[in-house]
Amino acid sequence: MPRPVGKAAAYIPGLDGLRAVAVIAVVAYHLNIGKAQGGLLGVGIFFTLSGFLITSILLRTYRRTGSMGFKNFWLHRARRLLPAVVLVITVVLLITALADPVGFHQRLVEGVGALFYVNNWVVIHQGQSYFARFHPDSGAFDHLWSLSVEEQFYLIWPILLYGLLKLCKGRLGRVALITAGLATVSFALLWIHSSAGFDNTRAYEGTDTRAGALLIGALVAMLWRPSGHARRVRAGARVLLDAVAVVAFAVIVDLIATTGQYSLSLYHSGLLILSIATAALVAVVVHPGADADRVFGVAPLRWIGERSYGIYLWQLPIIVAFPAAFLRSTPWLRDLVICAVIAGVSTLSWRYLEDPIRRHGFKAGLRELMDMTWASDELWRRRTTRLVTVGLVVAVGAGAVAVASTPSTSSAAPSSSTVVSTTSASTATTVANPAALRTGCRTVTEDGDSTSDGLVSDNYLPNRSEQLPAQLAAVGAPVFENEISGAQSINETWHGEPNAQQRVNRLLQAGVRGCWIFALGTNDTADVTAGSSMGIVARINAVMAQVHGQPTMWLTLKTLNSSGYYSDANMQGMNAALVQACARYPNLRVYDWRSEVQNSWYINDGIHFTSFGYKERAARMAHALARAFPHGQASPASCLVSSGIPG
């Protein structure tokens, strides 16, 4: 936390270091960096740390004055939180109005929800998904749900804590016992609201389900009084404290590195373990006799921690603003550029907006900002030079982004002479004259889950000739019916959205006939593993009975996950069932995507794909369809087909 404004609280640099760890994890998660698949747990670290700090402030005020000082407490929170979030919302809405007027209304709804700190419930009510951050419709406000949870806690907890203190006649032990009970209820709700195979945004973003982490932090503030401990402790005690810190930090790092965002363990145990480990680490950091404060309080971590609020606010809008095509071939450089922009913007926000208002209040802070603007001529010239330099850097960067992301107009639409070219750092494959490879299918319907999102997305594939509809047209199938939906399963439904059987039935009733591509099963294997009464074979049979003899191609599955509901072992069970189904359904062919997909095409969740991966998937699916159901020829006798594209 930044240095306290008042004199009553002592500054503990190590807590800023913990904030740095948390925000680094979140940024790494949103940047899709490997070994940080559990980086979303950084928010949980923030929650427990905030619960500790806020409760410490409230209890200190209560001991000193006998009240909570509600007015001053809420005013200080407003000074700290409002200026930066208002600026972020304003900037994003202005840019959206200019660059994406179609999406402006949705961003406005999200922005208003964030401004009034109810963004999490807006997202839940609209049925949006936090975990679709790689979905084409993911937005710059998707991370603001956590601020809403914290602000709701800041509003309710002081009143509740004051009531509990009065009810228990100041006996903090009893208050702590009730608080522990409330935390237990919260973690129980987290368990109840989570389900395998479904989007768990309700569990992840609900105030009731995430309050447990904040309350565990509050428990530390109630039961641990570091100011009562001596700075010098016995060697054995110091070793014990340091050992607790090392173990707690190791647990946090392990959770960040190994916890999958789709794993139920995140909700059933991961967030609870994280909260306990964070609480233990906080307790050691604030102990005057431990070394942890000095370790986590080193200058680089302290610098990041002081600006962690601004970094958190700006990181996702900046990440979303960079198109997938920007420095695609050198992701490390792309991430470095993005991090530099995040650091620069958040530093300006801290220096000229957040810190002045935090220290002096709204009026005096804004007056200081004006004073800095109208400073002495020499100082003004220096600052102007700096700002102009920053402006030029941003302008050049924006220009580079625009150039890098602009698709070539010469390849806007496929034709009979289009060359389908796929390139990567390690392979280069060209299929000349696609007219030589033709399918007898004219109308193709794809029913797919979130692993197909990028096939029809301008965000993933800005050159539309690389998207699946154009690739299918290039092999002779000009009519494409899109039934891709992120959380889709053959049997289960989510947030009132139809399942695959219902979608197929609706299309058949509308008179749709032709060829079918099914890229389903990823969620179904998770549902079955979690205990669904409808097995894999029954699911395949249900869909194949609906299409009733129409040419059908199904894709095999692969993930990079070694455990959990979405483990690759479960996917292989689905693949075996598909091959066995060919004997029952002569109209079925199975495209063996599993044998062609490369590990480098996956993002770090091990399930979905990069832009390059989706480009390959689209081209290979089209070619596999043409080989499965060729024009003027019978389908191959074998069940499994390939795309024929090497590499």
Helix (H) / strand (E) element for 420: namely: strand 420-423
Lowest mean pLDDT among 161-165, 381-385, 547-551, 613-617: 381-385
Q: Within 13 Å and on the Cβ side, how many CA atoms surround 552?
A: 25
User: Who's near 584: CB < 8 A, 6+ residues apart?
Assistant: 541, 544
Q: Going by DSSP bridges, is the β-strand pair 479-484/515-519 parallel, antiparallel, or unpaired?
A: unpaired
Can you tell me the distance from the alpha carbon of 489 to that of 469, in angstroms, rounded to the nearest whole number? 22
Q: Which residues contact 401 (CB under 8 A, 6 or more apart)?
A: 321, 322, 323, 326
Cα separations in angstroms, 647 against 159, 582, 598, 643: 63, 27, 9, 11
| 480 phi and psi angles, rounded to 5 deg | -125, 125
Strands 515-519 and 443-448 come out as: parallel
Query: b/e for 414-435, b at 16 or more Cβ within 10 A?
Result: beeebebebebeeeeeebeebe
User: Pick the residue with more confidence: 323 or 45?
Assistant: 45
- The winner for highest mean pLDDT among 226-230, 389-393, 596-600 is 596-600
Tell me the percentage of the chain whose pLDDT exceeds 90. Answer: 57
What is the Cβ-side half-sphere exposure of residue 450, based on CA atoms within 13 angstroms? 25
What pLDDT shows up at residue 409? Answer: 31
Percent of the chain with pLDDT over 70: 82
**Which amino acid is located at 29 in the chain?**
Y
Which three-class secondary structure state does DSSP give residue 480?
Answer: strand
What is residue 388's predicted lDDT score, i.e. its pLDDT? 45
Name residues whose C-beta falls within 8 Å of residue 384's C-beta, 6 or more positions apart in sequence.
none
pLDDT band of 415, cuts 50, 70, 90: very low
| Position 329 pLDDT exceeds 50 | yes
Query: Cα separation of 425 and 442, whole Å?
Result: 35
The rounded distance, in Å, linking the Cα atoms of 149 and 603 is 28
CA distance 447 to 264: 26
| C-alpha torsion angle, residues 266, 267, 273, 279 (rounded to 10) | 110
User: Residue 41: is its pLDDT beyond 70?
Assistant: yes
Judged by DSSP in three states, 622 sits in helix
Q: What pLDDT digit, counting tens, does each position of 514-526 carry?
A: 999 999 999 898 8
C-alpha–C-alpha distance, residues 387 and 194, integer Å: 48
Could you read off the pLDDT of 595-647 as tens digits, one per residue?
999 999 998 778 899 999 999 999 999 999 999 999 999 999 999 999 999 87
Picking from 112, 134, 488, 314, the residue whose alpha carbon sits closest to that of residue 123 is 112
The stretch 427-435 carries a mean pLDDT of 38
Q: Please state, in angstroms and rounded to a whole number, the distance separating the CA atoms of residues 153 and 158.
A: 8
Least-confidence region, from 159-168, 243-252, 306-315, 365-374: 365-374
| pLDDT, tens digit (0-9, with 9 covering 90-100), for 121-174 | 988 887 666 665 444 445 788 899 999 999 999 999 999 999 999 999 989 999
Over the stretch 341-371, which tens digit does the pLDDT of each residue have?
999 999 998 888 888 887 776 666 566 656 6
For 12, other C-beta atoms within 10 Å of its C-beta total 22
pLDDT attached to residue 485: 85
pLDDT of residue 222: 95
pLDDT reading at 378 higher than 60: no
Q: How far apart are CA 448 and CA 581, in angstroms?
A: 19
- One-letter amino acid at 504 equals V
pLDDT of residue 324: 64
The predicted pLDDT at position 5 comes to: 56
For residues 295-301, average pLDDT: 94
Query: Rounded to an integer, what distance in angstroms lies between the CA atom of residue 19 and that of residue 304?
Result: 8
Q: Report CA-CA distances (Å) from 153 to 54, 117, 216.
A: 10, 10, 13
Of residues 22 and 393, more confidence is placed in: 22
- 25-29, 35-39, 318-322, 550-554: which is most confident: 550-554
* Spatial separation of the C-alpha atoms in residues 291 and 281, rounded to whole Å: 11
The mean pLDDT of 213-240, rounded to a whole number, is 83
For 591, other C-beta atoms within 10 Å of its C-beta total 25
Residues 55-65, mean pLDDT to the nearest whole number: 93
Q: What is the pLDDT of residues 114-133, one digit of tens each?
A: 999 999 998 888 766 666 54
DSSP sequence for 193-211: T--TTS--HHHHH-HHHHH
Q: How far apart are CA 627 and CA 437, in angstroms?
A: 8
Provide, for the chain, the percentages of residues in helix, strand and coil under a 3-state DSSP scheme, each rounded to the nearest 5: 60, 5, 30
**pLDDT at position 647, please?**
77
- Domain edges within the chain: 13-322, 425-641
Q: What is the pLDDT of residue 431?
A: 38
The answer to which of 36-45, 277-286, 296-305, 536-545 has the lowest mean pLDDT is 36-45
Q: What does the pLDDT read at residue 89?
A: 94
Domain 425-641 falls under CATH 3.40.50.720? no
Mean pLDDT lowest among 62-76, 294-308, 387-401 = 387-401
Alpha helices for 127-224 (secondary structure H): 145-167, 172-192, 201-205, 207-223
Mean pLDDT, rounded, for 21-45: 89
pLDDT value at residue 3: 61
- 429's enclosing H/E stretch is strand 428-431
pTM over 0.75: no
* Mean per-residue pLDDT of the chain: 84
| Average pLDDT for 252-271 | 87
- On the question of pLDDT at 495 being above 80, the answer is no
* pLDDT given for residue 422 in this prediction: 31
